[in-house]
Amino acid sequence: MKMLMASALVLAALGGAALAEDKDEKPYKVVDGKVDQATFNGYRRYGNSCLQCHGPDGAGSSYAPNLTDSLKHLSQEQFAETVINGRQNVSSSQQNVMPSFGHVEDVVTYLDDIYAYLKARSDGALGRGRPERIGR
Ligand code: HEC
């Protein structure tokens, strides 16, 4: 967050044109509720690999956390680190395991897209359900 603000300040110092670019720093694009190809791909990959535990639309389940909440405080690096290495909750009596996806090509290759989709959901830029694609 601090870094984001700092970069926004730098961009502001560079003038109005640069400020407009600040918006492009979002990993997703949503126009009239429709998403770009990468975000749509993230939606699909999420459905294939994450939904079974994290629930529809990233909204969480009794087993795994709500990722739209998680991405309010996790950086993209922390997100990627968790997905690639996995994590095990050893402190609770319940054994909740986040599997490691480091060897799952479909996830590693499209991790940025999955992040974009979940970030759009987390920011409230995208509602629940299957999104439509821009230009379709
Ligand atoms: C087998 C069930 C399962 C699957 C499949 C799964 N997760 Fe998880 N995930 C979990 C559990 C359980 C946790 C919480 C682990 C803990 O408490 O430490 C978790 C935690 C996370 C966290 C950390 C959340 C936080 O607030 O710190 C992220 C990020 C995450 N998962 C992303 C993903 C993504 C992206 C996918 C799909 C590529 C995925 N997970 C697939 C079970 C799963």
pLDDT at residue number 16: 45
Q: What residue ranges in the chain does DSSP mark as E strands?
A: 30-31, 34-35, 87-89, 96-98, 132-133
Residue nearest to atom 7 of ligand 1 (CA): 98
Ligand 1 centre distance from Cα of residue 71 (Å): 12
Domain boundaries, the chain: 28-133
User: DSSP state, 62?
Assistant: S
Secondary structure string (H, E, C) spanning 76-114? HHHHHHHHHHCEEECCCCCCEEECCCCCCHHHHCCHHHH
Mean pLDDT of 32-55: 98
Residue having the nearest C-alpha atom to atom 27 of ligand 1: 70
pLDDT (tens digit per residue) in 3-22: 555 555 554 554 444 444 55
Q: What is the pLDDT confidence band of residue 96, given thresholds at 50, 70 and 90?
A: confident
pLDDT at 24 over 60: no
Looking at the domain covering 28-133, what would its CATH class be?
Answer: mainly alpha
